[in-house]
Chains A and B, each alone.
Chain A
Amino acid sequence: MSTAVASARSNVTNLQRLVPNWAWMLIALAVALLYPYILDQLLAEPDDLLDASIQTLAYIIMALGLNIVVGFAGLLDLGYVAFFAIGAFVMGWLGSQQFPDVAGGKGIHILTPSQSAFGSDVPGIHVNFFLVIFIAALFTALWGVILGAPTLRLRGDYLAIVTLAFGEIVPRIFENATSGIFGIGSIDFSNGRQGITPIDKINLPWTDEKFKYPLELKPVYFVGLAMVVLVIFFNRRLRDSRMGRAWIAVREDEVAAAAMGVNLVRTKLWAYALGAALGGFAGVFLATYNNTVNVDQFEFGFSVLILSMVIIGGMGNIWGVILGAVALSMFNRYGLKQLNGVPDQFGLDFDVTSINYGIFGFFLLVMMVLRPEGFIPSGRRKLELHGEVDETDHLGAESDHTLYDVREDR
């Protein structure tokens, strides 16, 4: 069996060599552009699948963002949901009627229609989506630095738990900030558990016409795709940049990297900031697409879902992470629904969709035990994980795994 796998693998490699890298990207882009039309041709009801695909685009962006923190810089972040939450709330604040009293009830409008279809004023702050994504990215990047700064001295599992705690605190603060924050002021930031809804639809800056999702999904799909392409470009440039090499050096060996002149604080904070920025970027998109910003979305399971995408795809490898995000997100949004009838056939009464996180937990477990480097591993990490198989069986591992070593360095 292993020879069959090996020959299949070499076939794939041969095929890869046949066509240059940029051509593969063009092909992928062409397929992605034609995808909604292909669905139209193949399916009678393409909207379900297209809806799942649009959500998937946002998940790809988030997985790539988390990949900067976990995959490139080697900082295990279990609280990524915080940045999704912050980004989504920025959209909620800048693109809804959450603050009806601004500008004397007339509202603030930047590149958005200032009057409703009936000619009346639209209260609240309304900034064009294409501005909000960048505002939110900046804002979440700032928060990435603020939340990242205290964790700089921690490593390994202590770092993971602290980020997890941040991921739990941020949504709690939003949930309770219905009358100022910590009792200061009296502005309602979040509507509590109800959440902010409706959220402005996307409109192109040069026209007042709003997109009509969920009735018409293709335009919003293309907006999401454009964002993904931008993020992939950004990620590839980052990975090959001076900063990207510094991240990998820090991941491999902090002490050695510092000795070689890498500024640890700046390197790590940039990883947090850029990873967080992508979370905010995608958060804005999901907020307007789902038409709501609700604290119930911001649970620990979400962080783990994104982390699963990164791990299952292959930490540190951009294409692997994209594959992981597409596979898990489509499975979550579309595949599981198709399986809902299965327990019934065994005489069990539950929906498969309700235990989706359990299924992802199972994937994580199996993946970590059987193939910890992910489906498409980055070359370096593969060596790391399989290089020391021959080492004698020893526990507690005071070994060379400095990358993951637990102790806070003080």
Chain B
Amino acid sequence: MEAASIPESPAASPRRPVGSILADNILWVLMALALLVYFVQDPEQTLDDVKTGLSNGTIWALIALGYTLVYGIIELINFAHGEVFMIGSFVTVSIWQTLGVTPDNSIVAILGSMLVGLVLAMLASGTLNVMIERVAYKPLRNAPKLAPLITAIGMSFILQNVGLLWRPQPDSSPDLIGSQKDYFTVFGVAIEHSDVFAVVVTAPLLIALLWFVGSTRYGKAMRATAQDPDAARLMGINVDRTISLTFLLGGLLAGAAGMIYALYNGTIQFNQGFTAGLIAFTAAVMGGIGNLKGAVVGGLIIGVIQSISDTHFGQVWTPAVVFAILILIMVFKPQGLFGEETREG
């Protein structure tokens, strides 16, 4: 991504007369341009980066949804969300280790254990997220907004250290899907098992979530609470339960992301949640926080930015690149890609 674009983007400052859509969206335009330049230079490598980025981005998208759901409803950055994702990974791998499943087992056993791992990780993360809300955020609903952010940080550290005690060393997940093997090749880009797997697991979850929020009674209650909690309560919506439900949904998705991450990357460790959390938060802000589709798109874009940065700047600089983008977006484009008017804005 476009180290070149970083110094230039202050030009996007709204102090300038915002005449054209182009000037307003200079950050995105520059990113797209950089991608185009890289593509012209080395099409095959760039396509491969985009593929890796998109499949990796599905994981960030799932986590980002948790941030965006919670922020949309109580305007809180659930700082512990990355750790919820980490616990999801740990639960999955622990289950597989207990079951003793290996890649040599029959396909039915592997699929079955993957399903069990997925469901249990989702349940564990979902329950954990609801409990976090009860313990750390609910008592502070009426406190200044700084207070729950600080308890969130506290919670994040507690969970990270729980992870540290659980697995002091990085641990490897059984390679159930043969993640590095090529599945098929398009335009000279090898699609690996892990890529297919990430998309196949993520897509139904995303659709289910969008359906749930968009078309069910509970989803309607969530949207109403997000719009105006007081009015929602007057309309007979149980606001507390709706908030718990939101945390449950976010946790479920984080658990699924944890399971995918374990198989996709092959190794898990206690501090994976911190970085993943920040990356996913960047994705959520990029898509416009509170916007579900935006979070998904943001996750995919961040994934691509990461893999392109890996190739062109080296892996050591990638975290700095992602954080720099986070700063640029928050300072110059806080409403994100799909800029909606914010509630109090």
Asked whether A395 lies within 8 Å of B230 as measured between CB atoms, the reply is yes
- Residue B239 interfacial (CB < 8 Å): yes
Interface of B is mostly: helix
Residues of the A chain whose Cβ atoms lie less than 8 Å from the Cβ of B147: 368, 372
Chain B residue, CB-CB nearest to A171: B320
Residues of the B chain whose Cβ atoms lie less than 8 Å from the Cβ of A76: 146, 149
Asked whether A369 lies within 8 Å of B344 as measured between CB atoms, the reply is no
Q: How far is the CB of A263 from chain B (nearest CB, A)?
A: 18
CB contacts under 8 Å to B, within A160-192, are: 160-162, 164-166, 168-169, 172-173, 175-176, 182
Instruction: Count A interface residues, CB 8 Å.
Output: 60
Asked whether A365 lies within 8 Å of B327 as measured between CB atoms, the reply is no
Residues of the B chain whose Cβ atoms lie less than 8 Å from the Cβ of A24: none
Taken together as a complex, chains A and B put the C-alpha atoms of A404 and B157 apart, in Å, by 23
Residues of the A chain whose Cβ atoms lie less than 8 Å from the Cβ of B326: 161-162, 165
B316 interface neighbour in A176, A363, A365, A394, Cβ under 8 Å: A176
- Residue A311 interfacial (CB < 8 Å): yes
Asked whether B14 lies within 8 Å of A410 as measured between CB atoms, the reply is yes
The stretch of A53-61, A150-158, A281-289, A319-327 in contact with B is A150-158
Asked whether B323 lies within 8 Å of A355 as measured between CB atoms, the reply is no
- If A396-B74, A396-B75 touch, whether A364 touches B320 (CB-CB below 8 Å) is no
- If A362-B158, A385-B143 touch, whether A396 touches B320 (CB-CB below 8 Å) is no
Asked whether A404 lies within 8 Å of B239 as measured between CB atoms, the reply is no
- Residue A254 interfacial (CB < 8 Å): no
- If A385-B144, A407-B342 touch, whether A368 touches B150 (CB-CB below 8 Å) is yes
- Residue A107 interfacial (CB < 8 Å): no
Chain B residue, CB-CB nearest to A356: B161
Residues of the B chain whose Cβ atoms lie less than 8 Å from the Cβ of A406: 75, 145, 344
B317 interface neighbour in A176, A300, A361, A372, Cβ under 8 Å: A176
Q: Which 4 A-B pairs have the closest CB atoms?
A: A358-B161, A361-B157, A364-B154, A365-B154
Taken together as a complex, chains A and B put the C-alpha atoms of A394 and B234 apart, in Å, by 12
6 A-B residue pairs with CB within 8 Å = A158-B334, A173-B320, A384-B144, A394-B229, A396-B75, A407-B345
- Residue A304 interfacial (CB < 8 Å): yes
Residues of the B chain whose Cβ atoms lie less than 8 Å from the Cβ of A311: 150
- Residue B209 interfacial (CB < 8 Å): no
B344 interface neighbour in A153, A301, A393, A398, Cβ under 8 Å: A398
- Residue A401 interfacial (CB < 8 Å): yes
- Residue A354 interfacial (CB < 8 Å): yes
Scan B132-173; emit 1 where CB is below 8 A from any A CB, else 0.
000110011111111111110111111011101100100000
Q: How far is the CB of A116 from chain B (nearest CB, A)?
A: 36
- Residue B264 interfacial (CB < 8 Å): no
Chain A residue, CB-CB nearest to B317: A176
A162 interface neighbour in B136, B144, B331, Cβ under 8 Å: B331
Residues of the B chain whose Cβ atoms lie less than 8 Å from the Cβ of A160: 77, 149
- If A165-B327, A311-B150 touch, whether A156 touches B145 (CB-CB below 8 Å) is yes
16 additional contacts, CB 8 Å, given A304-B157, A361-B155, A368-B154? A150-B327, A158-B330, A161-B77, A161-B330, A168-B323, A176-B320, A301-B157, A361-B161, A364-B153, A364-B157, A365-B158, A388-B142, A396-B74, A404-B145, A406-B145, A410-B14
Asked whether B142 lies within 8 Å of A391 as measured between CB atoms, the reply is yes
Asked whether B150 lies within 8 Å of A407 as measured between CB atoms, the reply is no
- Residue A37 interfacial (CB < 8 Å): no
Residues of the B chain whose Cβ atoms lie less than 8 Å from the Cβ of A408: 330, 334
- If A404-B144, A405-B145, A405-B344 touch, whether A357 touches B320 (CB-CB below 8 Å) is no
Q: How far is the CB of A103 from chain B (nearest CB, A)?
A: 32
